[in-house]
Amino acid sequence: MSRATPIRDGAIIAVDWGTTNRRAYRIEADGRVGDAIRDDRGVLAMAADDYPPALAALRARLGDLPVIASGMIGSTRGWHEAPYVAAPADLAALAAAALRIDDAGLTIVPGVSLLTATRADVMRGEELQVLGAIAAGLAPADALFCQPGTHNKWIATADERIIDVTTVMTGELFALLRNHGILAGMLDGVVADGPAFRDGIARGAGTCDLGSALFEVRAGVLLGRRTPDDAAAYASGVLIGSDVGARAVRGQTVHLLAEGALADLYEVAIEMLGGLTVPVDATAAFLGGVHHLRSHLSE
């Protein structure tokens, strides 16, 4: 690192640089969090030439410090690609493969990939939150995590290592259905917990025929089985129920790395299908991940 402050010992700037949003924090040497910045400067809002002045602006606000960044900044759509680390992976493996951009005083944390004889999956950003949750004592070393979002992530860990990841396009599918195709115009109602949402969970969890279950949204409204105002909640329940039902959560503890309305809906679905949810503060998990990661980074 070209900056004088050793990345392992002094204060740093930690950035969760996502697709649409960016969150930056000053972390002191002892792990305490100082000032923070949250904005919409995700990678989709950035061109390659925008990153150096963006980093300079962060330092002007948070201090002239080394920067550790995770998330989509290290993707093919970001600034510099940081190749994936193959699962199983822990914080030491992420640190060993971190991409150092010395002239920018920047370290980019790589994502994690899974490649088996039958499946392929990838993630960027979630890995640091999951491993950070474990390192910070927010979750056990062997755990199942769910991180709802546009692309929902199910992440399994053992011995403080990520051993499996499954990405489900649940949120994206709902957005596509709401805006395109035969259900467009039917899904403008409020999505919230209630009888329609729970009916959808039961339908989605009990079928391998998701396409048919989704068409029933339209047919149910046309035939008077469901009111138009309930169609969106029912369709969301079908999709989330299908997602959660495929994980066989009954009897399992699921660590929910999220907050807000979508997290609440997943909590309902997981517990309705026999699982137990434990909320995990995603910001605290990310900060814990960065703080513990830097102990593995070389000078």
Q: What residues does 168 pair with on adjacent strands?
A: 152
Task: Count the alpha carbons within 13 Å of 144 in the hemisphere toward its beta carbon.
Answer: 15
Digit-coded pLDDT (tens) for 71-110: 999 999 999 999 999 999 999 999 999 999 999 999 999 9
Answer yes or no: are the C-beta atoms of 233 and 178 closer than 8 Å. no
CATH architecture for segment(s) 12-138+284-296:
2-Layer Sandwich (3.30)
Amino acid code (one letter) for 133: A
Angle at 168 between CA 167 and CA 172, to 5 degrees: 120
Task: Count the alpha carbons within 13 Å of 14 in the hemisphere toward its beta carbon.
Answer: 29
Give the Å distances, CA to CA, from 220 to 53, 54, 57, 198: 54, 50, 53, 15
Predicted confidence at residue 8, as pLDDT, reads 59
Residue carrying the six token digits 């040497």: 29
Predicted confidence at residue 208, as pLDDT, reads 77
Q: What residues does 85 pair with on adjacent strands?
A: 112
Alpha helices for 35-152 (secondary structure H): 51-62, 91-96, 126-135
- Token readout for 157 is 């860990």
Domain boundaries, the chain: 12-138+284-296, 168-279
Low-confidence residues in the chain, pLDDT < 50: 1-6, 299
Angle at 94 between CA 278 and CA 18, to 5 degrees: 65
Dihedral over Cα of 272, 274, 278, 282: its sign:
negative
The one-character DSSP state at 182 is T
Per CATH, the number for 168-279 is 3.30.420.310
Q: How far apart are CA 81 and CA 97, in angstroms?
A: 12
Q: How far apart are CA 27 and CA 45, in angstroms?
A: 25
> What's the gap between Cα 17 and its chain centre?
12
Print the SS3 string covering 95-112: HHCCEEEHHHCEEECCCE
> Could you tell me whether strands 106-108 and 99-101 are parallel, antiparallel, or unpaired per DSSP bridges?
antiparallel
Predicted confidence at residue 218, as pLDDT, reads 96
Contacts of 20 (CB under 8 A, 6+ apart): 40, 42, 44, 45
Phi (first) and psi of residue 292, to 5 degrees = -80, -30
Q: How far apart are CA 153 and CA 135, in angstroms?
A: 19
> What's the gap between Cα 290 and its chain centre?
16
Establish whether domains 12-138+284-296 and 168-279 are of one fold: yes
Nearest residue to 133 (alpha-carbon basis) of 279, 296, 297: 279
- Token readout for 7 is 């990345």
Predicted confidence at residue 196, as pLDDT, reads 96
Angle between helices 282-293 and 126-135 (to 10 degrees): 80
